[in-house]
Amino acid sequence: MLPPNIDTNIDSISELDFSIKRLGKPYIESGLKDVIFVDDTENISYCADNAINQRLIDAGKKVPAFLAAGPRRKLYHDAPWSRAAIVTCGGLCPGLNNVIKALVNTLWYIYGVDNIYGIQYGLAGLVSGSGLSPVYLNPDIVDDIHVQGGTILGASRGEQSSEEIVRTLDRLNINMLFMIGGDGTQRAAHEIALLALERGVQVSVIGIPKTIDNDLNFMDKTFGFESAVEATSSIISCAHNEAKGYYNGIGLIRLMGRDSGFIAASASLANSMVNFCLIPEVELVLHGDNGLLRALEKRMESKHHAVVVVAEGAGQHLMSSEKQRDKSGNILHNDIGVFLRDEIRRHFAERKIEVNVKYFDPSYEIRSIPANGMDSIFCLHLAQHAVHAAMAGMTDLVVGNWHGYFTYVPSTLATSARRKIDPHGQLWQSVLLTTRQKTYLE
């Protein structure tokens, strides 16, 4: 969704480099049959409004556009001589095994690559001294892994030496590396791709976007997000039942969303029992006449129950303890769920008002489930387009989805900033209309 200052935004984006790096000129005829090949001149415009694009052209500016994803007529890598590696990094997310399976099947059945290896426990499996060896993968091994949550390869956080990883890839003769992960993983992929090019190591480094928070830049959605939103529905219903089952009951649910509130906002729309949705993009005011605590008082006076959904990154300014970072360098937020639970109880106790707070934190339950049907299809498409890019010798990219089309996004663009909810945009305005929380907050 484009921000209100669309002209300024498009002008600045038109100056960005959307080009995709390549290992060299593709020269091998693709043996694919009955497919529609995509030419390298085919692009997907960043802005769907042709009037704005025309205005840029008239002003002599470049129209920002992504390279369209899909199979190419000419390949760079020779399938019988190719060796592919797959790695899953960061936290768990619905669909990881779906992507692994689709990568293996596309490499094996579509292109004839039969040397495929899984890297164990993230990038740690590519550094010496870890005691971790690559595992061989084929269609039989991955046949039913899509019905399982998690990842059969294991995952990990933490920074590893790009120098050592490139040396390992060279030593193992890996010429295609598929990195499944979020912004930290894709930044690492960018470093590995650049270093490999600098060292003359012929490896296509292709990123597949995995972030349950749906916060990677320059793409409409990432896999696992829809499954996560679907999984929240029964939890919100339980919280609603608990809230209505007690006098002045409050069901409080903490959901994922470190810097972006897409899961909390979408869950609130998917299950309209939510009365208050709190996200990182909108400042949380706790005290005062327009604060959340006073709003809950008003809600108890009129309805005697409420359901509150809060994203994990909301209200961090309310907690003063020192921030720490995880092994990937991400800031570890303070627990807003527990903080709100205790503040609500304290507030009502001081006013001698009975309240029954029921607290839910389903984060691990949600992220470790298998992917739902729509996410499974999305995972398949992402994996297929990742293999198409790798076989054509592309590198340093993330497979994206924009305006309903699959695209190839330079890794630097995908990780340039966290995608966030626009408080003036349609999604958040729909949340406000559905929850009607402003009637209590104003």
Q: Which helix (H) or strand (E) holds 269?
A: helix 262-270
Query: Active-site residue 213, yes or no?
Result: yes
Distance of alpha carbon 251 from alpha carbon 272, whole angstroms: 14
Sheet holding 135-137, edge to edge: 43-45, 65-68, 405-410, 397-402, 204-209, 176-181, 84-88, 116-119, 135-137
Catalytic one of 213, 215, 259, 396? 213
Closest to 285 in 3D by CA, of 317, 307, 312, 255: 317
Distance of alpha carbon 140 from alpha carbon 237, whole angstroms: 39
What percent of the residues of the chain are helix, what percent strand, and what percent coil, each to the nearest 5? 40, 20, 45
Closest to 226 in 3D by CA, of 192, 250, 254, 262: 262
Distance of alpha carbon 100 from alpha carbon 118, whole angstroms: 9
Distance of alpha carbon 234 from alpha carbon 271, whole angstroms: 9
For residue 37, the one-letter residue type is F
Report DSSP letters for 19-51, one per residue: --EESS---EEP---S-----TT-EEES---HH
Residues annotated as part of the active site: 213
